[in-house]
Structure 1
């Protein structure tokens, strides 16, 4: 058992504080420890979002080897040049939140091992449970170019996912509206304009079906929070493994820890006027297809 006496004048989230003290823990391991009642704050079980501050006492009922720092696995580069990186993010790696720097640390360590400058800035986000391609800028000019291109929807994004339920029709371009509930960390889709709602456009095509499941290719036209997950759930076909918008009974039955959603393709525009980035015109990058795609195709997963 480890006992930590918090020394922080300003309140800080429990998960952030613990990962600063023990980087090897990771958000997944912390969640597991909390479920197993192995984290106590002032003698009580508290959520990881709890703010701790100076004088609080945290007890961790974990083995010493679970707290030991381990080298981060290398980042998987799909493409790199002196300006940008296209990196394949594994499911479970956070890019927005208390552990958001984990991917950047992997990238920096991978670059350093190659003797290259380690500076990199993430230019867009993926949900923690979503795997696939993310874009990073290696300098200020690249950051400005990538963020502007993403904002203008000039870079097309396509995903692969498995849904619990077969969408009807098998292909469609959905136009609806998304309302964000920041306090609860969820969104909901409505069919008509409403106060605070933003337009969402999501295209999908069914590639294969297997029993209760469907393998889809999804095109993200707009890029709202949880858009694909919430939009597919709205039509009665939630993504397998999605604990927030999905079917938890099916997730447990089929043993899916993370949502079966992969940012599979990034497609740059056919014409780029900026000469520094003209070499990217028309380039298309792919992540390796996740294992669950072939299992739907061959009928192993139903």
Structure 2
């Protein structure tokens, strides 16, 4: 971040893809009020990728947000006190702290249960963000969210304990150096046991942005690696998933797109996503492991245990959980812009050669 009297620039992280610009400020620059954001927009000072922006604009991963210099603080008498959040009950505090599976000076990792949203929204009043006061512990400030999990997805959720740590972790997520491994049960068994799903995703029209779909023309590049760990006949498979991009509902859409929706995912798999035989109808998608660089120079590497419904399904289907202990995190660095261009040129060259060969073959037959 630049000095207070200089223009600041931020890169939109994968976990902020699709949110409104005013919501981005509320998430990352809490001291900037909506009125200030609106004024900056009206006067052309607020820009996204160099173009004038409005508070209601939707952001896309990788865009650059130009933020004017921080405004001088008002005299103490003129500063309006922020409305106090209602104090948490003893039960809420205990619940929040029971989720903690790692804590250090810069980070907290929770094992988020299924059914708990990461942040609030329409008709969503119980969420991790509302419990963060319970996780301040001995730190000076309230901890901050740096990425999200879907409401029905369980598992490892990273929280920063300071503004400095939040900026550091956000950069890791936007730069795709953070590594995440998910476990899922899927319907059927993929023919290819270890593969890459490379299908562009976009918001599905008419759903208000609540649902994604594969869109070859307008979608954003989206890549997922999957590996079959074990299968129960042809009925279902236990798979390991590693997202290389961070699109909304990416893992769920990708697995449904190749004909193997995640068990319990009625949103993308419809009725074909449910198993009989006493298997829970809850979503079987779990953020198993997160590995990310830490501001102190070390690696943060945390594994989250399965929720009860997922563990019970594994037992019922006869899966051996120990087989997943050697996950295959892909440590290949993300391709640079130059490398992507080189790949595109090489692909185009190959296509041209194939077409020339086809034309020669047709000519020979004549």
Query: TM-score scaled to structure 2, two decimals?
Result: 0.55
Which ranges in structure 1 are unaligned for 5 or more consecutive residues? 1-68
Q: How far apart are the structure 2 equivalents of 1:142 and 1:100?
A: 27
Deviations 1:25-69 (A, max 9, x none): xxxxxxxxxxxxxxxxxxxxxxxxxxxxxxxxxxxxxxxxxxxx8
* Counterpart residue number, 1:11: none
* Counterpart residue number, 2:91: 71
Deviations 1:174-230 (A, max 9, x none): 11111212641111124xx40x21011000101111131100010011010000000
Higher share of residues assigned strand: 1
Asked if structure 2 preserves the Cα contact closer than 8 Å seen for 1:162 and 1:293, the reply is: no
Asked if structure 2 preserves the Cα contact closer than 8 Å seen for 1:132 and 1:287, the reply is: yes
Which ranges in structure 2 are unaligned for 5 or more consecutive residues? 1-88, 320-366
Which residue of 301, 304, 320 maps to 1:284? 301
Superposition map of 1:1-302 within 5 A: 71-72=91-92, 73-75=95-97, 76-98=99-121, 99=124, 102-112=127-137, 117=140, 119-181=142-204, 183-184=206-207, 185-190=210-215, 193-194=216-217, 196-211=218-233, 212-248=235-271, 250-251=273-274, 253=276, 254-269=278-293, 276-279=295-298, 281=299, 283-291=300-308, 292-293=310-311, 295-296=313-314, 299-300=317-318
Q: How far apart are the structure 2 equivalents of 1:198 and 1:141?
A: 30
Q: How far apart are the structure 2 equivalents of 1:183 and 1:123?
A: 29
Q: How far apart are the structure 2 equivalents of 1:138 and 1:156?
A: 20
Q: How far apart are the structure 2 equivalents of 1:182 and 1:277?
A: 44
Asked if structure 2 preserves the Cα contact closer than 8 Å seen for 1:209 and 1:296, the reply is: no
* SS of equivalent residue, structure 2 residue 130: helix
**CA apart distance, 1:97:** 3.8
Runs of 4+ in 1 over 6 A off after TM superposition: none
Q: Per the alignment, do residues 70 and 248 of structure 1 end up closer, same or farther by CA in structure 2, a change over 3 Å counting?
A: farther
Considering only aligned residues, what root-mean-square deviation do their CA atoms show, in Å?
2.5
Deviations 1:5-27 (A, max 9, x none): xxxxxxxxxxxxxxxxxxxxxxx
Higher share of residues assigned helix: 2
Answer with 1 or 2: which has the greater Rg.
2
Q: How far apart are the structure 1 equivalents of 2:150 and 2:206?
A: 17
